[in-house]
Amino acid sequence: MDIKGFLSSANGKVTVAAVAVLILVGIAAAIMMMNSGGSTYRGITAKEVSGSVSITGDINSGQAYSGEKLYSGDAVNVPEQSSITVLIDNNKYIYAEAETHFVISADQTEDHSRIRIALDKGSELNDLRTTLGAGDSFDVDTPNSTLSAKGTKFNASVYTDGDIVYTLLEVSEGNVDVKLRTTGGTYTGTEQTFGAGESVIIRGGSDFSEFTHDENGETVRHLDLSALPTNGTARLTALISRSSDGTVKTEPEPEKAETSEPQITPTEITYDTTEAPEPEIIPETTTEEAPEPAAPVTESTPAVTANVTAAAVETTAPHTHTFGEWTVTTPAGCETEGTETRICTVCGATETQSVPAIGHTFGNWTAQFGANCEEGVTATRKCSVCGSTEEKIIPPTSHRFGEWTVTREANCLIGGTETRTCTVCMTSESRTTPAAGHTFGEWKLSRIATCENGGTERRKCTICGSTEERETPALGHQYGEWKVTSDPGYDVPGTETRICLRCGHIDERNINPLGS
């Protein structure tokens, strides 16, 4: 019966059903093995991508997309107005903000998960949904520290100012162990653990790394745990810009306002509870009429004896400033700081503070020609605010070869060649395959050996027909018994002979005379 007939028969249908059941059982068993021991599927995925995030690695190279599988060693670059959420092991989230660059390293097996994020620019939030196992680890390496966590939610931000690197750590949940190291990679031996609600700023260079402190000499700063704030890099640069001695302060120091109006301070005003006439205030006037005298001050009204002009706001007691909203007085540029001012609604005092530079707003990278397999290309992008440009080298994409194809078959004595072609630039490369060597059959007798002469054997290659021979040894005589052919006498020897049973050769020898 043929296959078609068998499958249409009752037995054939039962057999097909049985095979299908076995396949389903095998798939179920594989899933159970995958999830055995409570472990989840090991993988790295670009969960959500916004903007033009790029991936560079041995397998991935180009713009990232939601749902893309990532691999250990992939570098993730998040430009302006972009963001990415990376999901690892189905329970670890990395939320990277704009202007962030990091590299993912993962050593993952069924027994453990070791994740390392090398963050050298920008800010990213790490959210570990489950506690790490005994053999698991999750580390964030910045240029001047290593942040190690277990079942933790924390934000890490990196900012570089010349040769100095700053790292901001903000812990929302759990604990993070911090080990300080120089930007050259040497650990200093300083370690400290930071818990939920705590943050710290690390400052380091080629030969040092240290925890910074605020104006009160405190290393640990405290967070509002209602929500971990975003834009960590902007916060870090704002804190750094308020210090000139390496001490990063948590609050800006008010600057003295530049104004033509006199400022009322507690040292400028004194109070007298005794009865005294109110000082005469002469307003500006264009007439020659004398001003009316001021009304006398009652006993309940203190007299102001300070040198206060009419331009100052009238007040009878010191007060806490009630400032209005900040108003921009000098807009911040891409690389230059701006200023903003606010005014007290009671006395008119002003307070001014600096505003961090906004940073460039670059467009997309453009190049005259795209990078090819063997040569890189220079790409440029332009700031839409100030027109500044920056360049970068787009590395070669490297060849993407297809399968090897035989272009010349190898034979028994001569090797062959194989060729493959790059699917991008059509460049080809070849390699030599080794000679196959003869495939000989059985040895066959070509000349029979004799008692005194050897024979020959020959065999033939089944591929090319070449032959080779070898000698076989002579057989040697096979004699019978000795027989007397002449009896010996006195003083006369006799003879005896024997005959080879194969070739009939006669061998003869003497018999000693009698009486000898």
Domain hosting residue 79, numbered range = 42-241
Residue 94 lies in a domain: yes
117 dihedral zone (left: phi>0; alpha: psi -120 to 50; beta):
beta
Residues 162-197 pLDDT 10s: 889 999 888 888 889 899 999 988 999 999 998 888
How much is the average pLDDT of 361-369?
82
Contacts of residue 224, defined as CB under 8 A and 6 or more positions apart, other chains included, come to none
Q: Is 509 within the bounds of a domain?
A: yes
Query: Nearest CA to 153 among 236, 49, 228?
Result: 228
Q: DSSP characters for 307-325?
A: ---TTSPP-SS-----B--
Model-wide pTM > 0.75: no
Of 430, 454, 425, 450, the C-alpha closest to 505 is: 450
The encoded tokens of residue 45 equal 């995925």
Residue 74 within a domain: yes
User: What is the pLDDT at residue 239?
Assistant: 67
- The backbone torsions φ and ψ at residue 35, rounded to the nearest 5 degrees and listed phi first, read -100, 5
Does residue 223 lie in a domain region? yes
In a domain, 174, yes or no: yes
Which among 225, 241, 257 is the end of a domain? 241
Q: Where a domain ends, among 217, 241, 265?
A: 241
Distance CA 83, CA 8 (A): 57
198 within domain boundaries? yes
How many CB atoms lie under 10 A from the CB of residue 95?
Answer: 19
Closest CA to 307 of 275, 273, 263: 263
Least confident of 86-95, 186-195, 234-243: 234-243
376 lies in some domain: no
Domain count of the chain?
2
> In the prediction, which pLDDT does 368 show?
65
Does the residue 343 lie in any domain? no
**Domain end among 188, 216, 241:** 241
Q: Which residue has the higher pLDDT, 137 or 248?
A: 137
Strand partners, 332: none
Cα of 270 vs its chain's centroid, Å = 66
Q: What is the dihedral of CA 215, 216, 222, 228, to 10 degrees?
A: 0
What type of residue sits at position 295? A
Q: Which range is least confidently modeled, 206-215, 265-274, 454-463, 500-509?
A: 265-274
CATH number of domain containing 154: 2.60.120.1440
Counts for the chain of helices (H) and strands (E), in that order: 3, 34
